[in-house]
Structure 1
Amino acid sequence: MSDSKGKEVSALKKLGVQVQKGDHYLCQEKQQGVTKCKSNGQTLSYQSEEKAAVVTKIGKSSTTTVSLFQRRVEETIHHESPPPVKDEITHFSHRHALHQYKVQKRDKINCNICEAEILDKAWSCESCKFFIHKSCENIPQKIKHKSHLRDTLTLRSSTNYACGEFTCNACCDSDKGFHYHCSPCKFDIHVACAGLPSAVNYQKHKNPLTLCYDFPILSSETVKCKVCDMKINKKGWAYYNEDSKFIAHVYCAVDKKKKDLILAIQKRLQSLQMK
């Protein structure tokens, strides 16, 4: 018997496996694959190695005994570097690079894209007084909207109309800045209007209000908003409940928490993005 075979037999005997004359045995090594998991910026790798003895008894049909006599598990920790933090970006609408900007409460800065107030971090070109929410960086440039199913709407930073302004088909306000536009139809809506939710729960009304792109009340009389008591333009959109006949301007009905509204608008815009 060779030295290696003698060592294998000794290892088996320590485990209570008796090798008798005529038995066939084989020592095997088995190495398992690497398992990785991440925790606190680190990657942990586990690799196990097993050694086994396979003993086949002669005279008994297909009886095999397997005994492990050594097991080793290796653990390796890989330190990963955090992804680099961007300190500047480019945006299709502005000729200069935009840099990180920390907005202070006293600043009172509105986003050039969605026009809502910026409450925290922003991308900015300070020399041009151009500021956008960090979350507005990736607002889609083309969307398909339920209010205008015939054509794709394209994000524009200004208008080509001779008067220098556009009138929003949603809220009916005139503006000069960012908006979604359809050239053949001369259809324009603010970025924020494009992202308005299809239904809202107004705090002083028990039933949900549905966003209507066509005016829901057929009447020649003046219709007033149930929230602010001001006239509603019948050419624009409104939130309405058929059962209660409750109607409101689009921005009278939405959540007054500006930060929540901004996030809701941006999330809806992403869902409208052309794939």
Structure 2
Amino acid sequence: METQIIPEEKITHFSHPQHPLVQINLPYLFTCMGCKEYGAGKRLTCQHCDFFLHDLCAFAPPSLSNHSLHSQHHLVFYIKPGGILRSTCDICGKSTRGYAFRCSTCNFEMHPCCAKLCREMDFPVHPHTLKLVTTATLTSGDPDFTCNECNTKRGGRIYGCTVCDYHLHAVCAKNMINGLHASGIIKVPEKPSRLGAAVRLVSNVVVGFIGGLLEGIGEGVGQAIFDSIVKTTAKRGTRLKQTREEP
């Protein structure tokens, strides 16, 4: 399939100032350089290098007020994760490793794509309007909600139907916002764990350090033993020579 270039002016974005970005529409998987999440379909891309942005990330406003998913506080757009601890989106339950809307009053945060979700929405996979299940319902015991799209249980918020027993993960609902569902991409590959990679790196460094340390100790001990043998042999040779020279 040929790449469809949407006839709009080229955009200069703060996240990629070295090259202008153009908007294209291609039903293939990509990783957004802003939020670090997957997407498909419409995106902003650089024609000179491998750089992509969700439309929702590229045109995210600097702040959100009275958002239906967190109406009690003002949300501010951040381009980097906060703090040294791993942050999690309060809507889809996935890690926030890049662009996110964050509350300065409490610990609430969410991906820009999740910010396009509402408390009540219509989705193409179900004939009835779905409502976001309250947090109280999710935390008061095991709600035993299985998503009717992915047929699994996982963290994050859940949409429920008030007419029938249909449930939809917020992360699955997000896939209908970021172009994955419309592009026919049902299952995306798991991203490698950064923690696992860090552990493997540290393990290799530690093993290499210990190996070098042991090797150094071995060389030092070997040299010390060799010097001791040489000195002992020299002393014995001197004593033997002196004994032979005595009358």
Task: With the length of structure 1 as denominator, give the TM-score of the two structures.
Answer: 0.50
Distance 2:75 2:91 in 1: 14
| Structure 1 residue aligned with 2:161 | 241
Q: Decide whether aligned partners of structure 1 residues 99 and 149 sit closer, same or farther in structure 2, where only a CA change above 3 A counts.
A: same
Distance 2:152 2:134 in 1: 19
Distance 1:243 1:223 in 2: 18
| Structure 2 residue aligned with 1:162 | 84
| Structure 2 residue aligned with 1:69 | none
Give the C-alpha shift of residue 150 in structure 1. 2.8
1:174 to 89, 95, 104: 95
Contact 1:154 1:181 in 2 (8 A): yes
SS in 2 for 1:160: coil
Give the C-alpha shift of residue 192 in structure 1. 1.0
| Structure 2 residue aligned with 1:146 | 68
Structure 1 segments unaligned to the other structure (5+ residues): 1-84, 263-275
Distance 2:34 2:173 in 1: 22
Percent pairwise identity = 20
Distance 2:28 2:158 in 1: 32
Greater relative CO, 1 or 2 (CA 8 Å, sep 6+): 2
Higher strand share: 1
Query: How many residues are treated as equivalent by the alignment?
Result: 173
Distance 1:250 1:166 in 2: 17
Distance 1:137 1:152 in 2: 20
Give the C-alpha shift of residue 240 in structure 1. 1.0
AA matched with 1:99? P
RMSD: 3.7
1:117 to 36, 39, 52: 39
Q: Decide whether aligned partners of structure 1 residues 100 and 194 sit closer, same or farther in structure 2, where only a CA change above 3 A counts.
A: closer
Structure 2 segments unaligned to the other structure (5+ residues): 1-7, 183-247
Give the C-alpha shift of residue 141 in structure 1. 1.4
Q: Decide whether aligned partners of structure 1 residues 202 and 108 sit closer, same or farther in structure 2, where only a CA change above 3 A counts.
A: closer
Greater gyration radius: 1
1:188 is the counterpart of 2:109: yes
Distance 1:223 1:201 in 2: 23
Q: Decide whether aligned partners of structure 1 residues 174 and 159 sit closer, same or farther in structure 2, where only a CA change above 3 A counts.
A: same
Contact 1:113 1:191 in 2 (8 A): no
Higher helix share: 2
